[in-house]
Amino acid sequence: MPPTPATNLLELLETQRILAIVRGNDPAAALRSIEVLVDEGITLMEVSLSGADALRVIRKAAASLGAGVHLGAGTVLTAEDAAAAQDAGATFIVTPGLGAGVGAAVRLGLPVLAGALTPSEVIAAVAQGVDAVKLFPASSGGVPYLRALRGPFPTVPFVPVGGVDLDSVEAYLDAGALAVGVGSPLLGDAPDGGDLSGLRHRIKAALDLAGVR
């Protein structure tokens, strides 16, 4: 049976403020990293399908973690990706752009955080019925670009991703981001079998910066 979708992704993003992005070359290490994230208080995360054996990581994490953990699939490009992610246990979908995976996820009833960068892409994303817009890559324009987009799109929920490091978390949130997505600056080498103690330290710092501790 497919998992229950994240019923209100917007609310989760607004309350959690940090979306952790897990992408690794070692499936077992990626799973351990997810467990550390949860232990330290981050319960909203995506597992990128570009990581090694990502669907199995999602499946194992979804089976072992409690209902309070919200696990999405990232780098969803195609309709097949969206269906496979749902089958593995993902409760929301994250895309890098406006490919076929967006419409497929919407039809499946899965909340969608869809990648967009330009004003035209933001308009197209909203028209497709996405829940929030992943401003990607956020590093292209940084915080000033997010502020500029907030002018014509004051009600669009933006989640900057791509080049967001711990030093810029507060600035993006202060500029009106609903939440921020943080990958390697938060996870480091942990999903590849690296340091878990460093990951714990960075999680604490990120949550403090986001004001959710």
Which amino acids are annotated catalytic?
46, 134
- Token digits for 49? 């399908």
- Phi (first) and psi of residue 113, to 5 degrees: -105, 105
Tell me the C-alpha distance between 66 and 165, whole Å.
Answer: 28
> Sheet containing 70-74: which strands, arranged edge to edge?
158-160, 132-135, 112-116, 92-94, 70-74, 44-48, 18-22, 180-182
Angstrom distances, CA of residue 202 to CA of 14, 42, 44, 69, 185: 20, 11, 16, 19, 8
Contacts of 100-107 with C-beta under 8 Å, sequence gap 24+, read: 101/76, 101/77, 102/128, 102/130, 103/79, 103/128, 104/78, 104/79, 105/76, 106/130
Q: Give the distance from CA 16 to its chain's centroid.
A: 11
Longest dimension (CA), the chain: 44
Tell me the C-alpha distance between 190 and 192, whole Å.
Answer: 5
